[in-house]
Chain A
């Protein structure tokens, strides 16, 4: 079960090519206007690619669009729905559009209501619901037919932290047997949710890696940050150690960057003991995703 996609694009998406397998949660990451939504709209058959095509479980999105759409669950950006309908009527409409009939359609709608914790509002019209509930209704319609492929365009955008957490755990619960593609411009989401991340800018794929791999690209990866008295003096001593490539002092925090392959943490904690510095904080940096993101996206945009 794999997807391979090959787009020759409108200006928005430029020959983007990738494949995803079951169990993967792929995060599209990129600045606004990078082409994330455009790519999703092409996958779901809303936009026709101006070149190239994609295959979803063997169904070509151009020649076999209906079959492809049948196995996709899609949450468009902003989770649009018919505001004047009640949650239940809306979901039953979606179920029937997905080919379920009569009692089966009602059962599917009820199951989706259950799954997304919408039991308190099924008879309310959607326009009267809060943003968090509306988003859940959008997710409910996307997962209603238990799709093999789930495409979610900014599923947590505009939600409060609790709602974000809730939506993310829902997605995580479903991730084991499905292919999930989400787009986001929130970096923490990729860390929280995805096991694979693609950074896209100007419609081009810049990086395709695991979140951990992304972080490892940060220059902060394995750097050591300490907060210490008399930072200038400490900085000049630390810059002498062979394992340190560079020392930076910023806002009272001293960050030491390792030389290639060096293990800095032990060296520095030994130095702390040896010189008897009074250290209030000492930490090993995992890496900073926002820094990688900026580096990757601005680096190429500039060129």
Chain B
């Protein structure tokens, strides 16, 4: 009669597996991958002047990732919770013997793995640069890791925003705005909002919150533990916020 207790991680993996298989049974995954690949190609080769630079590295490829993610990651994230609300499955999912945290983490990991897969499919760029010259592959690997971690940060923000509203368009816009804030914090346009009134300590914190600065460091091949920890912390923070938001307004 009594059902077994499930361990925490296997519950997370179960949710993740279900979610991930859901991506590939709808056109969402394929459309996303194609657009991601085309866009990153366009940015790298045309706007980034990959050939004209005459340098064997992937800087023009990685430098546009923050901007690419700014719109594409919220597009993936907006449906995470809004879709569960629309179909009513949120009630099914959250009345199973799973904690909200397990469900949040499972769904996040699925989307993050999916983004990782999309990122891996850009491997022809890496092949190209190796064919054309002798790049420092260590830097390239660092760039990929940094890019994936940054995508996780964007994704956690988007997931939280998706839990805030049941409207997918609103979720998309909210997460683009918040992601944009995180991207640019440290740049004058964000700092100006705070300089008038905020204490210097807070200004330093905000200035240090920029995705761009941390990503730039990693993609130059400098894997500083602080940059990695930064992305992990940002991701963890937004996933916690996501869990709390969901606890408060799961039934709305």
A: which residues have CB within 8 A of B?
41, 44-47, 66-67, 69-72, 74, 76-78, 80-85, 89, 93-94, 96-101, 125, 141, 145-148
Contacts and interface: CB of A to CB of B under 8 A. Distances in A.
A145 B95 contact: no
Interface of B: 1-6, 10-11, 14-15, 17-18, 21-22, 25-26, 87-89, 91-92, 94-99, 250-251
B95 A101 contact: no
Contacts of A145: 3
A80 B95 contact: no
Given A45-B95, A46-B94, A99-B5, A80 B89 contact: yes
A97 B87 contact: no
Contact of B95 (A69, A85, A100, A148): A69
A47 B251 CA distance: 7
Contact of A85 (B5, B25, B91, B251): B25
A50 to B, nearest CB: 12
A145 B18 CA distance: 19
Given A71-B3, A93-B14, A97-B11, A44 B95 contact: yes
A98 B97 contact: yes
A78 B92 CA distance: 11
Nearest to A89: B21
A14 B78 CA distance: 36
A229 B135 CA distance: 106
Task: Classify the secondary structure of B's interface with A.
Answer: loop
A67 B251 CA distance: 21
Contacts of A70: 2-3, 5, 97
A97 B251 contact: no
A97 B95 contact: no
Given A84-B26, A85-B22, A99-B5, A74 B95 contact: yes
Contact of B87 (A44, A67, A80): A80
Contact of A46 (B21, B87, B251): B251
B92 A81 contact: yes
A47 B90 CA distance: 12
Given A81-B89, A85-B21, A99-B3, A94 B96 contact: yes
A97 B15 contact: yes
Contact of B14 (A47, A66, A97): A97
Contacts of B96: 69, 94, 97-98
B88 to A, nearest CB: 3
B88 A80 contact: yes
A97 B26 contact: no
Nearest to B250: A46
A51 B14 CA distance: 33
Nearest to A78: B88
A96 B11 CA distance: 8
Contacts of B17: 93
B95 A76 contact: yes
